Amino acid sequence: MSDGDIARGHIDPGLFRGLTQARLSRRGMLRGAGALGGAAALSALLTACSIPGTNQSGTADERINWTEWWAGKKQLGTLNFANWPLYIDQDDNGNSESLKRFTAATGIHVNYKEVINDVQTFYAKVAPQLRAGQSTGYDLAVLTNGWQLTEMIDNGWLAQLDHSQMPNFIANAGRDTLFPAFDPGSLHTAVWQSGFTGLAYNEKLTGGPIESFADLLKPEFAGKIGMLDDNVEYGSAALLAIGVEPTKSTHADWKKAVDWLNKLQPSVTKYYDQGYTDALQNGDIWICQAYSGDVFQLNAGGHPEIKYVVPKEGQVVWHDNMIIPITADHPVDALKMIDFVYRPEIAALIADYVNYVSPVPAAQQIIRDQLGDPAVADSPLVFPTAEMLAKTHDYYVFKDYADFTAWNDIFNPISQA
């Protein structure tokens, strides 16, 4: 190869370039990319150096004239309904008779979505939209009472229900489901279904009935106790156990309740998020804090040895509530639905399927006579007796975030260890 060859370009141009020119090193390249990326990230940082609080939301409940608000809304023929899985009557093809009848009666088409699996996740999804005054995509949602629901009411994120358009609700709602502690005027919520939190035990293993929270401390049950992994549940149980009405409890009471829980702690095997019903059947635990609806399902599924009991000291009732976000696109359609499910024959269809506590006492007769299902109609876990209701309490309602934090700080160390 002569000099001439190179001059005429007979050498591979890639090699030539490599020989004559400094390569861009990997490190140099990363430095260049880093500078670019850093600039982009910095600008993102500058635009995002605060997270707006829920109190900064623009809608204040009191400032709205609700009569005018409802007068300005029309029925639009569509309803986007967010609910929990398996929480409405369904046939084998997944069609709901009650929704079918609703469409027949009102002409409103329902987009029924089973999208709520727990309140926290759903709240985390919709809170930013509600704060920004945007539609969440749902006109009606079913949420359990608790900190998140209280926040939504306090922030003015929920439409105030127009009772004048809800004749069935006013006439048929059970007196014990109206006016709960978290919504004293029933102005923002209407109960979809409710349930109790008490105790369940495996009769075969305990060898006798369990009657009270005090029984949990008996030495023979050490290592055989389960509690629910929810500080509101075990906290409320402990308040009842020490004889304090949860809705009237003070921070000092909470500390006493925690002392009781610490006394119970050596006996507890586990704080259950789910699966406590299996554990009761398996014998992993003998006694557990339990939801009434779960025990009803167990009994109906051929496990009569698992008993639900209202502890002597009392039980708490939770409500899953229908709410209409203030930004809903079809609020009138949602209001129609709320009132519709308070018709006794519709409430009966739903309660007969989901087996939780129905908000409509009149549904009991219909389930027994027309639907021919006395097992459900006569169960105190679906239609509680007056005696049970007398021992039933509401949960403590958090006043604000500081109050909620105080509860968490006091009760979290029990299950987070």
Partner 1 sequence: MRLRRWRRMSVPYALALLGSAWMIVLFLIPLISQLSVSLMTGDPEQGYNLTWNFGIYAELFGPGAAVPYALFLGRALLFGGAATLITILVGYPVAYFLAFRVPRRWKTPLLSLVVMSLLVSFIIRTYMWGFILGGHGPILTWLRALHLAGPDFHILDTAGAVIGGLAYNSFPYMVLPIYAVLERIDPRTFEAAADLYASPRVGFFRTTLPLSRAGIFSGILLVFIDSVGDPVNSQLLGGKTTYMIGQAIQDSYLIQQQYNVASALSAVLMLALGVILFAYARFFGTENIEDLV
Q: What is the binding site for partner 1 (CB under 8 A)?
A: 17, 24, 29, 32-33, 36-37, 40-42, 44-45, 48-56, 120-121, 124, 151, 223, 229, 265, 268-271, 273, 275, 278-279, 281-284, 400-402, 404-405, 408-409, 412-413, 415-417
User: Who's near 334: CB < 8 A, 6+ residues apart?
Assistant: 79, 81, 139, 140, 322, 324, 328
- Cα angle 30, 36, 38 (rounded to 5 degrees) comes to 95
| Closer Cβ to partner 1, 290 or 376, answer by number | 290
What does the DSSP 8-state code read for residue 117?
S
Least separation, in Å, of the C-beta of 381 and partner 1?
Answer: 25
List, as own/partner pairs, every contact residues 203-209 make where C-beta atoms lie below 8 angstroms and the sequence separation is at least 24, other chains included. Answer: 203/305, 203/306, 203/307, 204/305, 205/283, 205/286, 206/286, 206/287, 209/307, 209/309
Task: Assess contact for 264 and 271: CB atoms under 8 A.
Answer: no
Least separation, in Å, of the C-beta of 282 and partner 1?
Answer: 4
Least separation, in Å, of the C-beta of 14 and partner 1?
Answer: 12
d(CA 300, CA 105): 33
| Closer Cβ to partner 1, 264 or 382, answer by number | 264
| Closer Cβ to partner 1, 121 or 134, answer by number | 121
Residue 67 φ then ψ, to 5°: -65, -45
Least separation, in Å, of the C-beta of 36 and partner 1?
Answer: 7
Least separation, in Å, of the C-beta of 316 and partner 1?
Answer: 18
| Closer Cβ to partner 1, 223 or 243, answer by number | 223
d(CA 339, CA 341): 6
Among 160, 83, 79, smallest CA distance to 122 is for: 83
| Closer Cβ to partner 1, 36 or 105, answer by number | 36
Least separation, in Å, of the C-beta of 182 and partner 1?
Answer: 17
Identify the residue whose tokens are 């929480």: 87
Helix (H) or strand (E) holding 81: strand 78-83
| Closer Cβ to partner 1, 348 or 414, answer by number | 414
Indicate the SS3 state at residue 314.
coil
- In DSSP notation, 162-221 reads -GGG-HHHHHHS-TTTSS-TTSTT-SS-EEEEEEEEEEEEEHHHHSS----GGGGG-GGG
Least separation, in Å, of the C-beta of 221 and partner 1?
Answer: 13
Least separation, in Å, of the C-beta of 44 and partner 1?
Answer: 5
| Closer Cβ to partner 1, 119 or 350, answer by number | 119
| Closer Cβ to partner 1, 232 or 351, answer by number | 232
User: Who's near 237: CB < 8 A, 6+ residues apart?
Assistant: 197, 213, 227, 289, 311, 316
What does the DSSP 8-state code read for residue 258?
H
Least separation, in Å, of the C-beta of 395 and partner 1?
Answer: 15
Task: Assess contact for 280 and 288: CB atoms under 8 A.
Answer: yes
Residue 385 φ then ψ, to 5°: -80, 165
| Closer Cβ to partner 1, 49 or 386, answer by number | 49
Task: Assess contact for 98 and 341: CB atoms under 8 A.
Answer: yes
Least separation, in Å, of the C-beta of 227 and partner 1?
Answer: 9
d(CA 300, CA 309): 16
Tokens of 80: 């986007």
| Closer Cβ to partner 1, 106 or 281, answer by number | 281
| Closer Cβ to partner 1, 95 or 121, answer by number | 121
Least separation, in Å, of the C-beta of 202 and partner 1?
Answer: 11
